[in-house]
Chain A
C-alpha cells in the first residue's frame, strides 16, 4: 500500500523579480503537514521574498504557490483565515498593551474565538499582559508577534526571521515557544540565517542562496551527505598555532578573529595537530572537536560563509 503524502504547500517554479533584480529564481519545493520547514540562507538570499509570496504579502512574477489546496494569488481572502504570519521586523501599536493587541488581532478574524489568555501563557507573557508594546524588550516583542500569528488558530504558521536581532537568551526563549508549536503539530515555515536555529527546530531545511535552493532535506541528512570530516576548533590560539597547523598541510581558518578552525578527516589527525602544537611551544586556551554543521554545508556548496553578525541585518531579500 502506498503512503499518500499530504502537502500543505506546493511551490512550483516560483520566480520573483524586482526590476532587474532576480530575487527568487525558479524554485520548487513542498511542505508536509505538521512539518517545520526552514529556509536557511544569508541576508539577501531570497528567503523573505519566498515566504512573503507564500503568505500572500507579495505576488510572484511567475510560478505557482498552492497553499492548503488553494492558489495564493487567487484565494487570498480564504487563505488569510487559515494562516498565521510573523513578518520580518514585526512591530505593533506602541501604546497598546499585550492583551489589547491580541484582542485586537483576534477581532480582525471575525467568527474565530481566540483564547487570548491561553496565547499569553503559551508565549510566556503573563506578567507582561498589561504592558504597552513600546515598553517590551526585543525578545518579548517577538514572542507577542508569535502569539499574534497564532490568534486565529492557523493551520500553517509563517515565521520570518523570528530571532534576528535578539540576544542569545531571548533567542533561546523564542526557540522554546517554537518547540511548543512543533509539539502541537503546527505546520511551520521558518526563515533564518542562524544554522543552529534551523538544526534545532526544522524537520526539513532548504538552503537558499542568490534566489536558488541549493540543497534541501532533513538537517542531519544534509550534513551527512555533504560532509565527511570533523571540525577541530582551537580557541584563542596565538599566531604560531596557525603557522604550525598550516605547515602540517592542513588549511586552518581564522574564525571570529581569534579561534582557529581546521577540517580533519580522522581523529588521529587531531592528535597529530595537538602534538605538533605542543612540540612547537605554541599556546591555545581550549579545543573542541565536533561533526560539521549546516554552516559547513553552506560553505561547501557556495564557497561563502553563512556566518552573520548576531544582531543580523534586515531588508528585502
Chain B
C-alpha cells in the first residue's frame, strides 16, 4: 500500500464531489428525508387516536354512557351513525373501515344481567368492517380489550390475573430512537454500495481506469482510497442525520466509538460488494440494477425500517444471514440499549464479512482489459 497514492485518490474523489454540489446535497438529503417522513408518521403512532363510527340502535342512556367512557382514554374519536342507515352501505359510501353496531335492547339486557343477575341475559356488539383496510384488526383488538374490561367490571369481581409492564431499558424510548440507527445503517450501505458502483463504472466507461492501469497504482490503493472516501461521506451523512433527528425529534441516543466502528465496517463491507459488482456488471446501468437488487431486499429484510420479528419465520432466518442485519443490531445495541457485548458480537460478524468481501473486491478489481 502506498499512502501517497491513497491520499492522491482521496483528494480527487473529495474534490469531485465537493464541486458537484447538487449530487452532494441529494446524497445527504435522502436519508434525512426518510427520517423526517418516517419519524413524523411513527411519532404520531405513540399517541394514536382511531376514528370509530358507532351506530347506536338502542339509543338508551346506558349505551350513551358506555360510548362516553370509551372516548375518555383518548383511543377513539367517535362518529355517530344514524340508526336508519344500513351500516355496510355507510362504510362503502363514506369510505370508512369499521362501524360498531350497538343492538337494540342493549340497556335492557345489561340491566337484567346486573340488577337481576340473569345469567342468560347478554348482548352482542357487531363490528361491520371493510376487510381490505389494514387498521381494522388493530381497532377490533382494542375494542375487544375495552369490552373485556367492561365485562370484568360488570361481573363485580376483581380480576384474578393482573399484568404490569416492565421495560428492560432504564429509560422509555420512542420509535424514532430505534428507527434512526436503522436508517444510519441503511444510508451508509446505500452510499457505499451505489457510490462505489456508480463511480467505478463511470470511470471505466470513460477510460480513466484504463489510463490508471498504466500507472503504478495498485488495486489495494484504489479500494482503500474508495473506502476512505466513502467513510468520510458516510460520516458527513450520519452527522447530518443525527443533527436533524436531535433538532426535530429531540432524540436521545448514546453516541460513542461504536458508531464509528459500525460505520467503518458498513462502508468496508459494501464498498467490497460494490467492487465485486463493478467487475461483473460492466455497464453503468446493469451495475446499478445489480446494486438495487442487493440493497432493496436488504433494506426491508434486515430490520432497518421495522423489526424482523414481524416477518414469517423463514424470512427471519434469511434476515440473519444479511450483513446489514448485524449493522442494524450492532448500532441499536450501542446507541439504544448500551449493550457492549451485543455490539461486540455484531461487530465481529460484520467485520469478518467485510474482510472477506474486501479481499474478494481486490481480487475482482481488474486493471488489465483482458487476456
Contact = CB atoms under 8 A, between A and B. Distances in A.
Contact of B15 (A85, A92, A95): A95
A55 interface: yes
B172 interface: no
B4 interface: yes
A87 B211 CA distance: 6
Interface in A98-127: 100, 103-105, 107-110
A95 B14 CA distance: 10
B214 A91 contact: no
Given A85-B211, A91-B207, A92-B208, A108 B217 contact: yes
A100 B20 CA distance: 16
A81 interface: yes
A100 B19 CA distance: 13
Given A59-B371, A93-B16, A80 B215 contact: yes
Interface of A: 18, 52, 55-59, 61, 77, 80-81, 83, 85, 87-96, 100, 103-105, 107-110, 132, 148
Contacts of A110: 2, 4-5, 216
Given A57-B368, A87-B207, 12 more contacts: A18-B370, A52-B369, A58-B369, A58-B370, A61-B371, A83-B214, A90-B207, A91-B206, A93-B12, A107-B7, A108-B216, A109-B216
Given A85-B214, A96-B15, A96-B16, A57 B207 contact: no
Contact of B5 (A52, A56, A61, A107): A107
B352 to A, nearest CB: 31
A107 B225 CA distance: 14
Contact of B215 (A58, A90, A91, A105): A105
Contacts of A58: 368-370
B210 interface: yes
24 contacts: A52-B369, A55-B214, A56-B368, A57-B368, A57-B369, A59-B368, A59-B371, A87-B210, A88-B207, A90-B207, A91-B207, A91-B211, A93-B16, A93-B208, A94-B16, A95-B15, A95-B19, A96-B16, A104-B9, A107-B7, A108-B8, A108-B215, A109-B216, A132-B19
Contacts of A132: 19
Contact of A91 (B4, B208, B369): B208
Interface in B196-236: 206-208, 210-217
Nearest to B17: A95
Chain A at the B interface: mostly helix, strand, loop or mixed? Answer: loop
Contacts of A105: 215
B20 A95 contact: yes
B11 interface: yes
Could you say which interface size class chain B belongs to?
Answer: 20 to 34
Given A95-B19, A100-B12, A108-B5, A90 B211 contact: yes
Nearest to A94: B16
Contacts of A148: 211
Contacts of A85: 211, 214
Interface of B: 2, 4-5, 7-9, 11-12, 15-16, 19-20, 206-208, 210-217, 368-371
A77 B216 contact: yes
A87 B11 CA distance: 23
A137 to B, nearest CB: 17
A56 B4 CA distance: 23
Given A57-B368, A91-B206, A95-B19, A80 B12 contact: no
Contacts of B216: 77, 80-81, 108-110
Nearest to B2: A110
Contacts of B212: 108
Contact of A107 (B4, B19, B210, B370): B4
A92 B212 CA distance: 10
Q: B7, B12, B215, B369: which has the most chain A beta carbons within 10 Å?
A: B215
Contacts of B9: 104
B109 to A, nearest CB: 79
A87 B20 contact: no
Given A95-B19, A96-B12, A100-B12, A80 B214 contact: yes
B12 A57 contact: no
A53 to B, nearest CB: 10
Nearest to B208: A91
A138 B217 CA distance: 27
Shortest beta-carbon contacts, A-B, top 7: A107-B8, A85-B214, A91-B206, A95-B19, A108-B215, A95-B16, A58-B369
Contact of A100 (B4, B15, B206, B213): B15
Contacts of B4: 107, 110
